Amino acid sequence: MSVTVTIVDREAVRALWTEVQGFYVRDRRLKRAQSVMEQILQNHAELTGEAVRQYLDAVRGYFSGFHREAKHHLQRIDRRLEQLAQLQFNATAERGVANRRLEITQSVLSRVESLQKT
């Protein structure tokens, strides 16, 4: 028979609880978990492995969806930035060609003007 002993760092749990408190949470499961953990921490009650597991599951369940959404949003923005960079590169190259054409045609027109004055 094997027994798993988990030593929980109470201050680490308190730090996580405090960080989560900074968010506006409407999810009932997480609100309940926050409340239970608050009671345990405030009353200096025993911080059991089961209580910590349930708390961490609630926090992970709530924040993993937001994390995934933010990650996908960042990927979409990066793709848009890559497209914009390509557009800027193409426009800069096109501007260079147009500017060179302007210089060449200006040179020709200047010669025409010069010859007409003589």
Sequence-separated (6 or more) residues with CB below 8 Å from residue 29: 58, 61, 62
Asked if the model's pLDDT at residue 85 lies above 80, the reply is yes
- The domain tally of the chain equals 1
The answer to whether residue 3 is domain-embedded is: no
For residue 11, give Cα distances in angstroms to 18, 41, 105, 107: 10, 9, 75, 77
| Residue-level length of the chain | 118
The answer to whether residue 23 is domain-embedded is: yes
The answer to whether residue 54 is domain-embedded is: yes
Q: What is the pLDDT of residue 3?
A: 37
What's the whole-model pTM score?
0.66
Residues 88-112 have pLDDT tens digits of: 999 999 999 999 999 999 999 999 9
The average pLDDT across 77-84 equals: 98
The answer to whether residue 1 is domain-embedded is: no
The answer to whether residue 65 is domain-embedded is: yes
The answer to whether residue 5 is domain-embedded is: no
The answer to whether residue 94 is domain-embedded is: yes
100 is in which domain, residue-wise? Answer: 10-117
The answer to whether residue 66 is domain-embedded is: yes
Asked if the model's pLDDT at residue 14 lies above 70, the reply is yes
Residues 29-76 have pLDDT tens digits of: 999 999 999 999 999 999 999 999 999 999 999 999 999 999 999 999
Angle, CA 105 vertex, CA 101 and CA 106 arms, to 5° = 115
